[in-house]
């Protein structure tokens, strides 16, 4: 059910809207700090919470602990999506703070494998799964909350700010993880800090109001149910919209893998980078990624969001064709760094046009649909990249990357074109 608000002349956010954006950004930062903190400290923590194995088995454990939260996300996405569509957006962003706080406390106080054996491994993995579910509900919930609460074009930089917060959380986690490993700091303190912030986030978010879209839809639902005409209210899925947003969401994991895994392997193999070198290198790339999103926040306040994505697509597509050649002829770590910086700045994704995509889904199915497409696309592409790229690169070298990149770019263009036409038709209808 779509409600068109004619009052789109708002140029600045209200005090209440600014507070909501701030609270949601802080929460998203925290969620992704906690989620990625373990990833960047996996070398240390896996030694503490898993049995000692040979290096090959240890590498598999590292991959497993990274992948599990993402592979189980579709189940969590459905559950938390239904909660968001039935109980409201506000309830969801509050409950994710509770999950984060609890998991942080558990990890911070969890005895190691030497103390309680396999139970330590099982409890840790359960916490990782819960963190993955919470982070998914957090970022999607926050983006939907802002999209439904801000009716003006100001929602585009505001929603992009949420994404900025998630990347900043990952970036800070990378810095903290690197410093902890390098200087032998107490890793438990980082999780305690995360738990404390999550508790404050919970109390702050409990004062948020429900979004206008969800609240208005609930009022209509009550009227319909009173008239016993519920069937007329049922909202239908638009398969084309679902397919389009799914295809668009398939892109980001590819660029993430290329920047932080494939290029990392090249640096290790060709330039003898140590783990500390990799951490510092990745932190620099993450910082550039952060700066690129900051630029996107500014641009989305000045230009049409769809046109921004079209411009990035025009710049990035030719680069994809040249990428294997560039990787094969990399003569220095700085050359690899320049490739990674270009990917970080110009790779295509959902931002800043995400509010355009999600507003075309029915209110009482919006959270579930967007959550599920997000989670399934991530799980699918992470498997493709983690497994498929290994096979393709082994047989075709860096040119094997094109077997995945080019189809993904093609379907992304299709999805973007679909929503551009949909938005054009919607604008004409409102006019």
137-163 per-position pLDDT tens digit: 778 888 888 888 888 888 899 999 999
- Report CA-CA distances (Å) from 235 to 47, 147, 238, 249: 50, 20, 9, 23
Q: Distance between CA 37 and CA 306 in Å, rounded?
A: 33
Encode pLDDT of 159-202 as tens digits: 999 999 988 988 888 888 777 777 777 888 878 887 887 787 77
Beta carbons within 8 Å of 365's beta carbon, 6+ residues apart = 85, 235, 237
Residue 54, pLDDT > 60, answer no
pLDDT band for position 7 (cuts 50, 70, 90)? very low
Which of 340, 325, 347, 324 minimizes the C-alpha distance to 281?
340
pLDDT digits (tens, 9 = 90+) for 313-346: 999 999 999 999 999 998 899 999 999 999 999 9
Closest CA to 138 of 169, 94, 108, 87: 94
Contact 71, 362 (CB under 8 A): no
Tens digits of residue pLDDT in 378-391: 888 877 887 788 78
The pLDDT score that the predictor gives to residue 220 is: 64
Helix (H) or strand (E) holding 10: none
The rounded distance, in Å, linking the Cα atoms of 169 and 27 is 10
pLDDT, mean of residues 81-101: 84
Distance CA 149, CA 185 (A): 42
Q: Return the residue matching tokens 């558990």.
A: 106
Q: Which two tokens stand for residue 246?
A: 């799914």
**Where do the DSSP E strands lie in 7-55?**
none
- According to CATH, the superfamily of the domain at 235-431 is MFS general substrate transporter like domains (1.20.1250.20)
Return d(Cα 313, Cα 359) in angstroms, integer. 22
Residues near 259 by beta carbon (within 8 Å), at least 6 away in sequence? 285, 289, 340, 343, 344
CB 1 within 8 A of CB 363: yes
CA torsion sign, 314 to 382 to 129 to 358? positive
Cα–Cα distance for residue pair 99/35, rounded to 1 Å: 12
- Provide CATH 1.20.1250.20 ranges for the chain: 15-222, 235-431
d(C-alpha 85, C-alpha 80), whole Å: 9
With cut-offs at 50, 70 and 90, classify the pLDDT of residue 6: very low
Q: If you search the block for the tokens 């294997």, which residue do you land on?
A: 324
Q: What is the pLDDT of residue 170?
A: 84
Within 13 Å, how many C-alpha atoms sit on residue 228's CB side? Answer: 0
Domain 15-222: CATH superfamily is MFS general substrate transporter like domains (1.20.1250.20)
Element (H, E) at 364: helix 363-383
Render 84-141 in DSSP notation, one character per residue: HHHH-HHHHHHHHHHHHHHHHHHHHH---HHHHTHHHHHHHHHHHHHHHHHHHHHHHH
Cis-peptide, bond into residue 352, ω within 30° of zero: yes
């Amino acid at each position: 059910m779509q409600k068109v608000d004619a009052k789109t002349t708002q140029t600045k956010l209200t005090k209440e809207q600014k507070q909501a954006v701030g609270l949601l950004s802080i929460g998203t930062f925290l969620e992704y700090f906690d989620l990625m903190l373990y990833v960047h400290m996996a070398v240390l923590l896996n030694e503490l919470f898993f049995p000692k194995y040979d290096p090959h088995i240890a590498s598999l454990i590292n991959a497993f602990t990274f992948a599990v939260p993402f592979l189980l996300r579709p189940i969590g996405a459905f559950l938390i999506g239904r909660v968001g569509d039935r109980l409201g957006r506000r309830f969801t962003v509050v409950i994710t703070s509770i999950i984060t706080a609890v998991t942080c406390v558990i990890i911070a106080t969890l005895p190691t494998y030497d103390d309680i054996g396999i139970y330590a491994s099982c409890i840790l993995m359960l916490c990782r799964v819960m963190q993955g579910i919470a982070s998914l509900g957090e970022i999607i919930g926050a983006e939907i909350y802002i999209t439904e609460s801000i009716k003006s074009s100001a929602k585009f930089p505001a929603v992009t700010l949420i994404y900025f917060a998630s990347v900043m959380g990952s970036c800070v986690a990378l810095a903290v993880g690197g410093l902890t490993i390098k200087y032998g700091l107490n890793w438990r303190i980082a999780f305690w800090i995360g738990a404390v912030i999550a508790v404050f986030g919970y109390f702050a978010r409990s004062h948020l109001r429900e979004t206008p879209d969800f609240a208005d839809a609930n009022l209509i639902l009550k009227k319909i149910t009173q008239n016993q005409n519920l069937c007329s209210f049922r909202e239908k899925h638009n398969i084309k919209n679902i397919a389009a947003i799914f295809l668009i969401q398939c892109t980001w994991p590819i660029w993430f893998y290329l920047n932080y895994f494939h290029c990392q392997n090249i640096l290790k193999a060709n330039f003898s980078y140590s783990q500390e070198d990799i951490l510092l290198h990745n932190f620099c790339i993450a910082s550039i990624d952060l700066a690129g999103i900051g630029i996107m926040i500014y641009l989305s306040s000045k230009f049409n969001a769809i046109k921004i994505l079209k411009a990035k697509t025009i710049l990035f597509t030719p680069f994809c064709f040249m990428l294997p050649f560039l990787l094969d002829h990399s003569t220095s770590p700085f050359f690899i760094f320049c490739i990674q910086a270009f990917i970080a700045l110009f790779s295509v994704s959902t931002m800043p046009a995400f509010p355009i995509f999600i507003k075309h889904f029915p209110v009482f199915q919006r959270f579930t649909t967007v959550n599920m497409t997000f989670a399934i696309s991530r799980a699918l592409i992470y498997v493709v990249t983690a497994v498929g790229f290994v096979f393709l690169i082994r047989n075709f070298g860096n040119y094997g990357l094109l077997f995945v990149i080019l189809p993904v770019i093609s379907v992304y263009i299709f999805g973007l074109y679909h929503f551009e036409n949909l938005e054009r038709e919607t604008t004409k209808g409102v006019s």
